[in-house]
Structure 1
Amino acid sequence: MSSGMRTFGDRLRGIHAATIVPMTPDYGIDDAQLAAHLAAVASTPGINGLLVNGHAGENFVLSLAEKQRVVELAREYAPKDCLIVSGVNHESSLEAAREAAALERAGADGLLVFPPNSWALGHADDCVIAHHRLIREATSAPLMLYAAPVGAGAMAYAPPLLTRLIADRRFVAIKEGSWEVATYEQNLRLIHKLRPEFVVLGSGDEHLLTSYIVGSAGSQVSLACVVPELVVSLWKAAEAGDWQRARAAHEKLYPLAVAIYRDAPGGRATVRLKACLKLLGRLSCDAVRPPQPAAMANELRALERALRIAGAL
Structure 2
Amino acid sequence: MTPFTPDGATVDEQALRRFVDWQLEVGVPGIIVLGTTGEFLTLSEAERETVVGVSVEQVGGRIPVLVGTMNADTRVAVRQSRRAEEQGADGLMVLPPYYYTPTEDEIIRYYGAVCDAVRLPVMLYNNPVTSNVDMSARLVAELGRRFDNVRYIKESSQDVGRVREVVDASEGLVKVFAGERVVDSYLLGAVGYVNPYGNYIPYASHRIFDLLEAGRIEDARRVQRLIDVIDHTIAAGHPTYGHQCYSKALAALAGHPVGDVRRPLTTFAELGEEGRDRVRRIEAVMAELDDLMSVLDKS
TM value normalised by structure 2: 0.88
**Match for residue 113 of structure 1?**
94
Q: CA separation in 2, counterparts of 1:197 and 1:107?
A: 25
Q: CA separation in 1, counterparts of 2:132 and 2:255?
A: 39
Amino acid at match of 2:210: K
Q: CA separation in 2, counterparts of 1:165 and 1:257?
A: 32
2:163 matches 1:184: yes
Q: What are the within-5 Å matches in structure 2 for residues 1-313 of structure 1?
A: 20-27=1-8, 28-45=10-27, 47-119=28-100, 122-149=101-128, 151-152=129-130, 154-167=132-145, 168-191=147-170, 193=171, 196-204=172-180, 207-260=181-234, 263-283=237-257, 286-295=259-268, 296=271, 297-311=273-287
CA deviation string 1:126-157 (max 9, x = no partner): 111111111112212111211114x4574111
- CA separation of 1:57/1:280 partners in 2, compared to 1, >3 Å: closer, same or farther? same
CA deviation string 1:152-205 (max 9, x = no partner): 5741112342232122222111111222222333233323x2xx243211122x
Q: CA separation in 2, counterparts of 1:250 and 1:160?
A: 29
Shift in Å, 1:29: 0.8
Shift in Å, 1:303: 3.0
1:43·1:78 contact (CA, 8 Å) conserved in 2?
A: no
2:67·2:89 contact (CA, 8 Å) conserved in 1?
A: yes
User: SS where residue 166 of structure 2 aligns?
Assistant: helix
Cα RMSD of the aligned pairs, angstroms, is: 2.0
**Match for residue 293 of structure 2?**
none
User: SS where residue 56 of structure 1 aligns?
Assistant: coil
Amino acid at match of 1:34: L
CA deviation string 1:275-306 (max 9, x = no partner): 111222310x5321111121213233223312
**Match for residue 16 of structure 1?**
none
Q: CA separation in 2, counterparts of 1:299 and 1:181?
A: 30
2:226·2:285 contact (CA, 8 Å) conserved in 1?
A: yes
**Paired-residue identity, %:** 23
Q: CA separation in 1, counterparts of 2:238 and 2:111?
A: 33
Q: CA separation in 1, counterparts of 2:182 and 2:17?
A: 28
Shift in Å, 1:36: 0.8
Q: Which structure 2 residue ranges, 5 or more long, are not aligned?
A: 291-299
1:178·1:184 contact (CA, 8 Å) conserved in 2?
A: no
Q: CA separation in 1, counterparts of 2:94 and 2:61?
A: 24
2:183·2:217 contact (CA, 8 Å) conserved in 1?
A: no
Amino acid at match of 1:181: V
Q: CA separation in 2, counterparts of 1:282 and 1:154?
A: 33
Amino acid at match of 2:262: R
- CA separation of 1:73/1:152 partners in 2, compared to 1, >3 Å: closer, same or farther? closer
- CA separation of 1:276/1:108 partners in 2, compared to 1, >3 Å: closer, same or farther? same
Q: Which structure 1 residue ranges, 5 or more long, are not aligned?
A: 1-19
Q: CA separation in 2, counterparts of 1:108 and 1:38?
A: 15
Amino acid at match of 1:289: R
Q: CA separation in 2, counterparts of 1:153 and 1:58?
A: 14
1:237·1:245 contact (CA, 8 Å) conserved in 2?
A: yes
- CA separation of 1:213/1:157 partners in 2, compared to 1, >3 Å: closer, same or farther? same
Q: CA separation in 1, counterparts of 2:256 and 2:149?
A: 38
